[in-house]
Amino acid sequence: MRSVQKGLIASGVGMAVNIVLAIVKIVTGVLGNSYALIADGIESTTDIISSLVVWTGLKISTLPPDDDHPYGHGKAESISAMVVALALFAAGALIAVQSVRELHVPHHTPAWFTLLVLALVIAIKETLFRFVSRVGLQLSSTAVQGDAWHHRADAITSAAAFIGISIALIGGKGYERADDWAALLLNSTWRWTAT
């Protein structure tokens, strides 16, 4: 029971961080003219949902056996791990489709301050990955480890947005869509391979 509590705490921390980061990314993306950052913020909202699924699965898995579940509720954790994997796959598909759509829309060059936000996001998400992954390994929990990989995927997609925005800023006129290409290529590739 105490070990499951660590998993619940790790998922709760992940949810809280993702709520803040999703808001910061979306607002910064809108103000800074960066679709890649907006897409990254939308992806963070899927991380909130996946962390909630893991948290719920862990909570249910601690329930004692009953008439309908004579061997307990331990399978709830496995089911939540499967749901997290499907959510990761769906987020990649959604962002890939939206990135393709955005390639056909004229853009302004992203603002320089979006890079500062992304650098901070990358550091926070990589730290969160390491924390949640460590808890997942301690618990031998595939659901918590899957949740940790959501954080790593977010760090990588933020790095892709960082690269795309950097290219757009350095390249100047004609390179405005570089952050869309980065969101499409790296985000989609990572999502498909992570599942």
For the stretch 159-169, pLDDT in tens is 888 888 888 88
Question: What domains are defined for the chain?
Answer: 2-194 (1.20.1510.10)
C-alpha 80/C-alpha 102 separation (Å) is 32
The dihedral of CA 75, 78, 82, 84: what is its sign?
A: positive
Greater confidence (184 vs 116) lies with 116
What number is the average pLDDT over the span 29-34? 88
Q: Say what the pTM is.
A: 0.74
Check residue 126 and give its pLDDT. Answer: 94
Question: Average model confidence (pLDDT) for the chain?
Answer: 78
Is pLDDT of 4 > 50?
yes
C-alpha 84/C-alpha 160 separation (Å) is 22
What number is the average pLDDT over the span 119-143? 90
Which residue in 154, 159, 162, 155 sits closest to 115, CA to CA?
162
Check residue 125 and give its pLDDT. Answer: 92
| CB-based contact 150:47 (threshold 8 Å) | yes
C-alpha 60/C-alpha 154 separation (Å) is 27
| CB-based contact 29:35 (threshold 8 Å) | yes
Check residue 95 and give its pLDDT. Answer: 66
